[in-house]
Structure 1
Amino acid sequence: MRLSLAQLNPLIGDLSGNSKKIIAACKDAYKNNANLLITPELSILGYPPRDLLFNPLFLEHQWDILDEIVTYIAEKTPQLTLLVGIAEPAQDLQVPNLFNSIALLKSSGWEVIARKQLLPTYDVFDEKRYFRAAQKSGVILLTENERTWRLGLTICEDLWVEEGIQGHRIEGPDPIADLTSKKIDLLLNLSASPFTHGKGLLRQRLASKAAKRLNCPVIYLNQVGGNDELIFDGSSFITDQKGKKTLSLPLCKESIVTWDATSNSSISSPSLKEDQEILLQALVLGVKDYVGKCGFKSVLLGLSGGIDSALVAIIACAALGAEKVSGILMPSPWSSEGSIIDANNLAKRLGIKTSTIPIASLMENYDITLKTTLGKLPQGLTAENLQARIRGTLLMAIANEQKHLLLSTGNKSELAVGYCTLYGDMNGGLAVIGDLYKTNIFDLCHWLDSNNAYQCRSDLGLPKTGDLVGSAILNKPPSAELSPNQLDSDSLPDYEVLDKILKALIEDRSNYKTLASKEYPSALVTKVKKLLKNAEFKRRQAPPTLKVSEQAFGSGWRIPIAST
């Protein structure tokens, strides 16, 4: 039996467009003599469809789409069987009233053959808002070349049942255990699993364990593409019955591969990538799809000469091409000459167009206007925030007029402790690096300027050799330059220390009292915890942030603003 794996990039809610991708995959599979084509979880709708699932017309449109695909199969690929993910209405009046299901399509029609059992409600997932849990695993029989194959069917989280590997698991049945008595020949897992650091290896370990438990190969097929803050990296694969990976699909790219289950032989796979390259590729995909799927043609950002805006500019150029990226320099009286030079040099290396708008006169006008009400000139934090808001207003005006998407350049460290300005540097339609701590940004930028990154840079259309970020930016002490000789270290602990405390509090959910007593001065941990809490109201108003960590500030972060 020959199987085709279609690692697809859907647009959520675009049932017609998604069905065209599926039909194109049918054509490819048929050309390669495949008997079975599989597509990712909820492949007709795109994942996650969220509250679109409450629209009955949206759901009803699925049936028309399924019928259209069946018609295509009957006319063009009659020997092909297809598996697609759908949202299936339950046959009663209880809520939730849907199942997350798999439909089998062939020339004679379609039918539901499996339903998801484990429904995640942690982090960004909220599936119990929409779906019911099934109670048993799906098994189908397919006869090809006088052999009947028993295929076990699972959907995404149904594979995540190994507490010893994961460290935890959600409450519910063990779909793999349910399949052990079924004597299946293959396990299929149709998935829509978002990218986070290290998740690819974890998926492989889980699939390997399932293969050994079931004594059969495992096919793990994942969605690819950026959808709002989530990035789906694809990275689908097959393991043999001993858990050894025998096939890999590309990272962050649509791909269709055909595999002969009879031979179970290894196929040439993409080369392994470094962690920094994987992270960069994910962020590039996130920007590319957010821009494209939201209908924008170009992007804009403020170039400060600092490392954050440099990295965002590089990612934007890799995602869209330098011709679709514009940078605005907005020097104030406190901007160093070096920062202006560094920003212009970066723009030249990348080939992006820039404009310079000095803001000294605007600052003076604000001062004069506010003095009438305040009785004095704005001072301290008020004056610093005014600069950021002047810049934010200019950027939004240019983005509005020229129809760019404004990219926010703030990082996770700043967002965590509130070292950012509402309606200023937080302005934008997408926070590209808002889930990277400052130390992560330095690490990624150092890698970008290393020899190890040259091939990746070439693949992404960036300058192949030489400095990209540049030593002047890499070696510059971080500074917002909102007052004379200002440095981030004047207000914040060293980022090497701050980021470790923040990661412990945000991602590891460490007890701050334990953290203070064991590793860091109590006063420092208490200060950071207070800053984190007090900045919640800012984060609630931040643009969507591309998620690359286990705990990002976004739909999976649900801390009350008014709390102790």
Structure 2
Amino acid sequence: MGDKTIKIALAQLNFCVGDIEGNTQKILTAIKRAKAKDAKLIVFSELALTGYPIEDLLFKEDLHLRVQHALTLIRKLTQNFYVIVGYPEKKGKKYFNVAEVIYDGKMIAKRYKYHLPNYSVFDEKRYFEKGEKSCVFDFRGIKTGLLICEDLWFPELSKKAVALGAKWLICISASPYDDKKFQKRIEILKSRISENSVPVVYVNLVGGQDELVFDGRSFVMNEHQEVCAQGKHCQEDLLFLEMHAGKSVKIKKEKLPKVLSKEEEIYSALVLATRDYVMKNGFSSVYLGVSGGIDSALTLAIAVDALGPKHVTAIVMPSRYTALMSMEDAYALAGALKVKVIEIPITPMFNEFLKNLKKALAKKPKDITEKNIQARVRAVLLMALANEFNGLVLTTSNKSEIAAGYSTLYGDM
């Protein structure tokens, strides 16, 4: 193998679970962009064709037919070009989490995920069978080890690939965000490189899916355990990098994105999660009660950054107990964020509830019941608006209140 410099592309994209046709179009567009930049390889994330987590959609027969059609379209764009793409494969009555390597219109290698996570938010053992321990393929004369997500977290598979001649490792992943996860990934790659002295390319999913949010931040670490390229946090990205292949693989250092504070990280994840939950479920607008307090203020800001002010409506619902300052703050906030405000006083409705409950609650002293009625009246109004105008309601209760029981079931939570 002579010395050579090769450009490769890492596609950190936001895929939608079940939208194989939409995901395929994203993949085809990224391939065309990579080829236009003279890249020779593009790498996509785990289960890119179907989105992640696929859950019980895996058992739909037509899903696998659609996956095969998508692969046919992708193969047509691989003349003298390599693509690594993830998808689920059905073999008889068994299902596998697969990474396929395509070149010149043909499958030249296939990785079946070996380590199946079954903890926290993961339950892959319910869906998939365990694959083989190694997959090494030839990329333009360079032996390349291929792993899928959890495979990288255990040392034996990387060691096996290097023992079979791999000069570098590629790992495709769908790793969800928490505020310590990126550093954990860094430490895992450092461990694998310390053990094997080869660079590692890590391509992660980005986007929200139900209660999960995937932060992206794909990255490449060289043999010196230095991050030499990194994707954006909570945004789609198409990274291009140069590798020099001789007796070993060297990765050229690229400019890294700005380091975010913990607050910036979390806020970006909240914005992405909100946007994708709304949009991927077929909605475009949201409604939320705004009181002038910090909880509804933060929720409103997240909603505006996620969807834009034209798709957010603030509902002000004063009662006899609402302070003038709260009303002023609510209107000031909505004005600053340029969102529409609807004011609906709840006192008449609240009084009507008390009137109709008077006999049933006779001789009972006033307590938290009356306060909870106010919260539930507000919830009815919010849901009515969302139903009528095909939107979603955003709750403004915080986790501390929920943990302490200081919130109203069927009201503000």
Displacement after TM superposition at 1:180 (Å): 3.9
Paired with 2:14 and 2:95, the residues of 1 have a C-alpha distance of 23
- 1:2-41: CA deviations, max 9, x gaps? 2110111101111111111111111011111111111000
Displacement after TM superposition at 1:112 (Å): 5.1
| Residue pairs, 1:388-407, within 5 angstroms | 388-407=375-394
Q: Which amino acid aligns with 1:153?
A: L
2:102 to 80, 100, 105: 105
Is the contact between residue 184 and residue 214 of structure 1 (CA under 8 Å) also seen in structure 2? Answer: no
- 1:113-154: CA deviations, max 9, x gaps? 1111111111111100100112312111122xxxx1011111
Whether 2:7 is the aligned partner of 1:7: answer no
Whether 2:287 is the aligned partner of 1:300: answer yes
Paired with 1:225 and 1:243, the residues of 2 have a C-alpha distance of 27
1:204 to 148, 162, 186: 186
Q: Which amino acid aligns with 2:80?
A: Q
Paired position in structure 2 for 1:149 = 142
Displacement after TM superposition at 1:87 (Å): 0.8
Instruction: Please state whether the residue corresponding to 1:42 is helix, strand or coil.
Output: coil
Paired position in structure 1 for 2:247 = none
Paired position in structure 2 for 1:313 = 300
- 1:210-243: CA deviations, max 9, x gaps? 1221211110100111111111111011011111
Paired position in structure 2 for 1:176 = 158
Paired position in structure 1 for 2:58 = 53
Paired position in structure 1 for 2:129 = 132
Paired with 1:319 and 1:43, the residues of 2 have a C-alpha distance of 23
Instruction: Please state whether the residue corresponding to 1:261 is helix, strand or coil.
Output: strand
Whether 2:223 is the aligned partner of 1:222: answer no
| Residue pairs, 1:419-430, within 5 angstroms | 419-426=406-413
Q: Which amino acid aligns with 1:386?
A: I
Paired with 2:302 and 2:377, the residues of 1 have a C-alpha distance of 25
Is the contact between residue 159 and residue 175 of structure 1 (CA under 8 Å) also seen in structure 2? Answer: yes
Instruction: Please state whether the residue corresponding to 2:34 is helix, strand or coil.
Output: helix
Displacement after TM superposition at 1:56 (Å): 1.4
Paired with 2:365 and 2:38, the residues of 1 have a C-alpha distance of 73
1:158 to 135, 151, 156: 151
- 1:462-506: CA deviations, max 9, x gaps? xxxxxxxxxxxxxxxxxxxxxxxxxxxxxxxxxxxxxxxxxxxxx
Quote the RMSD (CA, aligned, Å).
Answer: 1.5
- 1:175-226: CA deviations, max 9, x gaps? 2232342231111010001110121111112112212212111101001111
Paired with 1:110 and 1:154, the residues of 2 have a C-alpha distance of 16
Paired with 1:138 and 1:405, the residues of 2 have a C-alpha distance of 45
Paired with 1:150 and 1:243, the residues of 2 have a C-alpha distance of 20
Displacement after TM superposition at 1:268 (Å): 1.2
Paired position in structure 2 for 1:381 = 368
Paired position in structure 1 for 2:3 = none
Paired position in structure 2 for 1:282 = 269
Q: 1:275 to 1:136 in 2, by over 3 A?
A: same
Paired position in structure 2 for 1:71 = 76
TM-score w.r.t. the length of structure 1 is 0.69
Is the contact between residue 47 and residue 85 of structure 2 (CA under 8 Å) also seen in structure 1? Answer: yes
| Residue pairs, 1:148-547, within 5 angstroms | 148-161=141-154, 174-262=156-244, 264-376=251-363, 379-426=366-413
Question: Would you tell me which structure has more strand in proportion to its own residues?
Answer: 2
Paired with 2:160 and 2:216, the residues of 1 have a C-alpha distance of 27
Is the contact between residue 169 and residue 200 of structure 2 (CA under 8 Å) also seen in structure 1? Answer: yes
TM-score w.r.t. the length of structure 2 is 0.94
Instruction: Please state whether the residue corresponding to 2:359 is helix, strand or coil.
Output: helix
Whether 2:115 is the aligned partner of 1:118: answer yes
Instruction: Please state whether the residue corresponding to 2:254 is helix, strand or coil.
Output: coil
Is the contact between residue 217 and residue 241 of structure 1 (CA under 8 Å) also seen in structure 2? Answer: yes
Paired with 1:359 and 1:325, the residues of 2 have a C-alpha distance of 21
Which sections of structure 1, spanning at least 5 residues, go unmatched? 163-173, 427-564
Paired with 1:190 and 1:344, the residues of 2 have a C-alpha distance of 47
Is the contact between residue 284 and residue 315 of structure 1 (CA under 8 Å) also seen in structure 2? Answer: yes
Paired with 1:36 and 1:134, the residues of 2 have a C-alpha distance of 24
Residue identity (%): 39
Which sections of structure 2, spanning at least 5 residues, go unmatched? 1-5, 245-249
Is the contact between residue 216 and residue 232 of structure 2 (CA under 8 Å) also seen in structure 1? Answer: yes
Is the contact between residue 140 and residue 151 of structure 1 (CA under 8 Å) also seen in structure 2? Answer: yes
Q: Which amino acid aligns with 1:398?
A: L
Paired position in structure 2 for 1:472 = none
Q: Which amino acid aligns with 1:80?
A: F
Is the contact between residue 119 and residue 127 of structure 1 (CA under 8 Å) also seen in structure 2? Answer: yes
Paired with 2:238 and 2:277, the residues of 1 have a C-alpha distance of 23
Is the contact between residue 371 and residue 377 of structure 1 (CA under 8 Å) also seen in structure 2? Answer: no
Paired with 2:106 and 2:86, the residues of 1 have a C-alpha distance of 15
Instruction: Please state whether the residue corresponding to 1:153 is helix, strand or coil.
Output: strand
Moved more, 124-133 or 347-356: 347-356
Paired with 1:149 and 1:363, the residues of 2 have a C-alpha distance of 73
Displacement after TM superposition at 1:378 (Å): 7.5
Is the contact between residue 109 and residue 135 of structure 2 (CA under 8 Å) also seen in structure 1? Answer: no
Is the contact between residue 109 and residue 137 of structure 2 (CA under 8 Å) also seen in structure 1? Answer: no
